[in-house]
Amino acid sequence: MYKITNIETLGSDYTVADQNGKLIKTIQVIPYLEILEAALGKYTEDFGSMSEYLEKSIAVLSGFERIDPNRVLWYATLDDEVILSELIEFAIKNGYDTIIMEHLDFLEE
């Protein structure tokens, strides 16, 4: 049995304020792998397939009902480094509450 993890507890919350210290917004930033590994741990062959691992990962997460999918920015990149301040600024200007960051591995043929 796996533990149920509330998605709202994952990642880090970043609070953005103006020059006078007035709160503009707090935004949640979650690494994609943290979502998958929150309740199940790292993927191993014991899960059978990556598809089964993904299904089980989603099954043990709660809190989706409080998340508006239109306010989640899914950011996927091949870059090893990301300028987080620029990403947060973009998200705030465009009405997002949450950022999910995924690092894509480049597959060579």
The percentage of the chain sitting over the pLDDT mark of 90, rounded to a whole number, equals: 36
- Of 24 and 60, more confident: 24
| pLDDT number for residue 108 | 55
Taking residue 93's Cβ as centre, other Cβ atoms within 10 Å add up to: 8
How far apart CA 107 and CA 109 sit, in angstroms, is 7
Examine residue 21 and state whether it is found in any structural domain, yes or no: yes
- Of 84 and 50, more confident: 84
Examine residue 80 and state whether it is found in any structural domain, yes or no: yes
Q: What is the mean pLDDT of the chain?
A: 84
Number of structural domains, the chain?
Answer: 1
Examine residue 79 and state whether it is found in any structural domain, yes or no: yes
For the chain, give the number of residues. Answer: 109
Q: Which domain holds residue 39?
A: 5-103
pLDDT in tens, 40-80: 788 888 888 888 888 887 777 777 777 788 899 999 988 88
